[in-house]
Amino acid sequence: METDYLQSIISHAIQATTFETQNNSLSEYSATPVIFEEEPKVIETDASPCLTLPENLLNVFHEAVKTETSEIFTLSNSISNLLEVATQLQLVFTFDARNAAEFCFSKSSNPEMIVFVDFGTDVIVKTKHNDFIVNEERWKKADAKQFMWAVRGISAKTFNG
């Protein structure tokens, strides 16, 4: 019943925002009033006493938040992607198990090294020069593809820039 109500609102909104265009210019706006068959239920939440939402709309927001949390990637599951980046940028990829499982990029003729350490929901990114840490950042894990592009960016900046 709640989804029917929401679909009814969506279809009315689509109908109400019909635009006709001629010669790439806005020529007419037609709107039809939204008519509800029944009065929507309104609930109040403790989170915001000033905001009241229809119950079904509030449920849609709760579902969106639930599905937004995805499984967090790990560096050990991304080894093939890290190897691919190393190959594309002609870098040396090493794994150092001595210091908290470090995944490292370096270039044979360069004293610089980029080190990635998986730290749960974060990745520690260190830039080393002759084995001394010159910069350290903490990247929040979000999306594995986004992370790989960030790896490409910091590698290109360090070794080619």
Same domain, 116 and 151: yes
Domain termination residue (choose one: 18, 41, 68): 68
d(CA 137, CA 143): 17
Task: Give me the domain span that covers residue 35.
Answer: 2-68
Six-digit token string for 29: 């706006």
The answer to whether the beta carbons of residues 87 and 105 sit under 8 Å apart is no
Report residue 48's pLDDT band, with 50, 70 and 90 as the boundaries. Answer: low
Same domain, 60 and 86: no
Which pLDDT tens digit goes with each residue over 60-92?
Answer: 555 555 544 456 788 888 889 999 999 999 999
Same domain, 156 and 88: yes
User: H or E stretch including 59?
Assistant: helix 55-68
pLDDT at 25: 41
Of residues 63, 42, 64, the one with CA closest to residue 51: 42
Structural domain total, the chain: 2
Same domain, 153 and 94: yes
Tell me the pTM: 0.56
d(CA 99, CA 131): 12
Which pLDDT tens digit goes with each residue over 101-156?
Answer: 899 999 988 899 999 999 888 999 999 999 899 999 999 998 889 999 999 999 99
The string of DSSP codes covering 67-122 is HH--PPP-TGGGHHHHHHHHHHTT-EEEEE-SSSSEEEEE-TT-SEEEEEEEETTE
Same domain, 88 and 124: yes
